[in-house]
Amino acid sequence: MRMIIVARYFLILWMIALPALAEDAGIENLRVTSKAFASVARKVSPSVVFIQVESTRAASSIQQFGPGSPFSDDLLKRFFGNQFPGFQQPAQPRAQQPERRVMGQGSGFVYKVEGGLLSTKTYIMTNNHVVDHADKIRVKFQNGKEFIAKLKGSDPKSDVAIIEIDSKVAPALALGDSSRLEVGEWVVAIGNPFGLSHTLTVGVVSAKGRSSVGINDYENFIQTDAAINPGNSGGPLVNLDSEVIGMNTAILSRSGGSMGIGFAIPINLAKQIADQLIDKGEVVRGHLGIVIQQLTPELADSFGVEPGEGILVAQVTDN
């Protein structure tokens, strides 16, 4: 009888202590997760750069902003339209309006060049729309060192660009394999949103293979809910192993800020473009001389095939 009473006593104590133990275990798991994010920040941030560009444009084509505004890049209109806070309708064109200096900004990261390529320089990957038409490109590292960079090559169709500097300031980031990325994985975005240097945000992979977004000619975006804002363009999207798996490029937004839908170019695609830009200064693509269209259920029925079995070759180009 005493053994039964003692057993019941310990059982009651265990039932009382169990919620507290579970709570402690949950908190400890969160601590481990937060330390993982902190580790990513320490490893990646030194190789992420803040990019500032200067260009000359006609006054009639410039969107008007207040002094010192971080939105001084009319390329934001490409993604947000005139509804973006701070945008004003452009002035009506007038003859021979003077040119004005325009400041823009974005992000980038030190890119790892494989052996056999021109590997004596320090290369930085960013978006083409960040450095397009730039007269001067200035990059700033987390340690405060600044350099004037020059454009090595750019590809507007994929929105990938490579710039170079003459100094080895930080190690190149390790590249992951974006084809192995799974929906639901943790990812970390690092960049300079609104000019706030080296900002880290965390989220998950929301979807893969996003196309027909209407941003680039070649689209195969990673979608993420990690906060991406103006100024993040060109910065790395990394996994918990501190490997770059994408380059942050654009957001879908009605407000001008993050609404949980951001897009990154998969690093496997960006790497193919970057290596050609470094090696040749341009991108050479093969061209398949046909025009194809989707095989709709109606077309599939008319051809006597199952929907989704193939595509319809609508036109063949001569030669």
pLDDT (tens digit per residue) in 1-16: 556 665 665 566 556 6
- In this prediction, residue 293 carries a pLDDT of 84
Arithmetic mean of pLDDT, 237-255: 89
Residues 208 and 307 in one domain: no
The answer to whether residue 79 scores a pLDDT higher than 80 is: no
Residues 238 and 166 in one domain: yes
Residues 298 and 170 in one domain: no
The answer to whether residue 281 scores a pLDDT higher than 90 is: no
Pairing status of strand 136-140 against strand 146-155 = antiparallel
The answer to whether residue 80 scores a pLDDT higher than 70 is: no
- Looking at per-residue pLDDT, the higher value among 313 and 75 belongs to 313
The answer to whether residue 297 scores a pLDDT higher than 80 is: yes
| pTM for the full predicted model | 0.72
The answer to whether residue 51 scores a pLDDT higher than 90 is: yes
- In this prediction, residue 83 carries a pLDDT of 45
Residue 12 lies in a domain: no
- In this prediction, residue 148 carries a pLDDT of 95
- 């609508």: which residue's tokens? 314
Q: Single out the catalytic residue among 47, 55, 158, 233.
A: 233
Angstrom distance (rounded) from CA 266 to CA 181: 10
Residues 63 and 148 in one domain: yes
Confidence of residue 124 (pLDDT cuts 50, 70, 90): very high
Q: SS3 letters for the chain?
A: CHHHHHHHHHHHHHHHHHHHHHHHHHHHHHHHHHHHHHHHHHHHHHHEEEEEEEEEEEHHHCCCCCCCCCCCCCCHHHHHHHHCCCCCCCCCCCCCCCEEEEEEEEEEEEECCCCCCCCCCEEEEEEHHHHCCCCEEEEECCCCCEEEEEEEEEECCCCEEEEEECCCCCCCCCECCHHHCCCCCEEEEEECHHHCCCEEEEEEEEEEEECCCCCCCCCCEEEECCCCCCCCCCCEEECCCCCEEEEEEEECCCCCCCCCCEEEEEHHHHHHHHHHHHHHCCCCCCCCCEEEEECCHHHHHHHCCCCCCCEEEEEECCC
The answer to whether residue 130 scores a pLDDT higher than 60 is: yes
45 annotated active-site:
no
Residues 295 and 307 in one domain: yes
Residues 108 and 143 in one domain: yes
- 């490579």: which residue's tokens? 162
Residues 46 and 122 in one domain: yes
List the alpha helices (DSSP H) in the chain.
Answer: 2-44, 76-80, 128-131, 267-280, 297-303
Angstrom distance (rounded) from CA 316 to CA 44: 47
Mean of pLDDT over the chain: 80
Q: Judge contact between 175 and 112, C-beta under 8 A.
A: yes
Q: How many domains does the chain have?
A: 2
Confidence of residue 182 (pLDDT cuts 50, 70, 90): very high
Residues 306 and 280 in one domain: no
129 annotated active-site:
yes
- Tell me which residue range forms the domain holding 301: 287-319
Confidence of residue 27 (pLDDT cuts 50, 70, 90): confident
The answer to whether residue 250 scores a pLDDT higher than 70 is: yes
Residue 185 lies in a domain: yes
Q: Single out the catalytic residue among 45, 159, 225, 253.
A: 159
pLDDT (tens digit per residue) in 187-230: 999 999 998 989 999 999 999 988 877 777 777 899 999 999 88
Q: Single out the catalytic residue among 45, 47, 129, 242.
A: 129
Residue 4 lies in a domain: no
Confidence of residue 19 (pLDDT cuts 50, 70, 90): low
233 annotated active-site:
yes
